[in-house]
Amino acid sequence: MRIDLSGRTALVTGSTQGIGTAIARALAESGARVGVNGRSAERVTKAVEELSGAGELVGVAADITTDEGHARALELLPEVDILVNNLGIFGSRPALEITDDEWRRYFETNVLSGVRLTRTYLPGMISRGWGRVLYIASDSAVVIPAEMIHYGMSKTALLGVSRGFAKAAAGTGVTVNSVIAGPTHTGGVEDFVYELVDRDLPWEEAQREFMRKYRPQSLLQRLIEPEEIANLVVYLSSPLASATTGGAVRVDGGYVDAILP
């Protein structure tokens, strides 16, 4: 299958590193004009330079968790055909030590930022009769990790949000889905792994120890590479996925022990 997204404009939030960068690259390589987003102008510029060979890119330096940043993103990209709500924060914390402020921060960053952008861009997609909205969720949405239930809560919320917006776009040619990503190999995850296992272990050993001890149900038995997540996102962003909407589509390495998504 050849996916051609020429003529489409995409915005990938939180795309200066990790999964977001991989998604931005893959969409650009498929022909889309891609907004690369991050809070720091310096990091956005660096990411755009690193991705320059992939295709047409627009730097969107804006903290989309704020009203000012949201307005800035809209100024730079007034219309978007493909919205990938990838921005997210995570970290471990004992359940009884999570403060009210931290609960709010996780909800506002991981959930509300995407809701706000969807509310902004979805009407235009509906009026044009075509669009794709994606939320990057996590296996933690279904299998809540004991060491970060605030993160799990925010990802569970995305499954409900995406299903609800899919109903709002019913019959319009616009699809809305969430992607359940499994444990993925990024710089941030490497740091997280070393919070939980011996820092003196070489990376390959540390990864195996982490998967054995904290993610034993993975059928892949390794961390997923960001490009593997991006492959599914590009498909769901394409005309080929026109009948897939309101779903929670898994690219989790078999981590979630269920037959249905």
- Out of 121, 135, 151, 255, the active site residue is 151
Phi/psi of residue 35, nearest 5 degrees = -85, 120
Three-state DSSP class for residue 62: coil
Do residues 211 and 219 lie in contact, with contact meaning Cβ atoms separated by under 8 Å? Answer: no
Phi/psi of residue 37, nearest 5 degrees = -115, 140
Distance CA(100)–CA(97), nearest Å, equals 10
Q: Which amino acid is at 150?
A: H
Helix (H) or strand (E) run with residue 9 in it: strand 9-12
- Nearest residue to 111 (alpha-carbon basis) of 34, 173, 58, 165: 165
Query: Does 151 participate in catalysis according to the annotation?
Result: yes
How far lies 15's CA from each of 19, 85, 135, 253, in Å? Answer: 7, 10, 13, 22
Do residues 61 and 40 lie in contact, with contact meaning Cβ atoms separated by under 8 Å? Answer: yes
| Token reading at 260 | 């249905």
> Active-site positions?
151
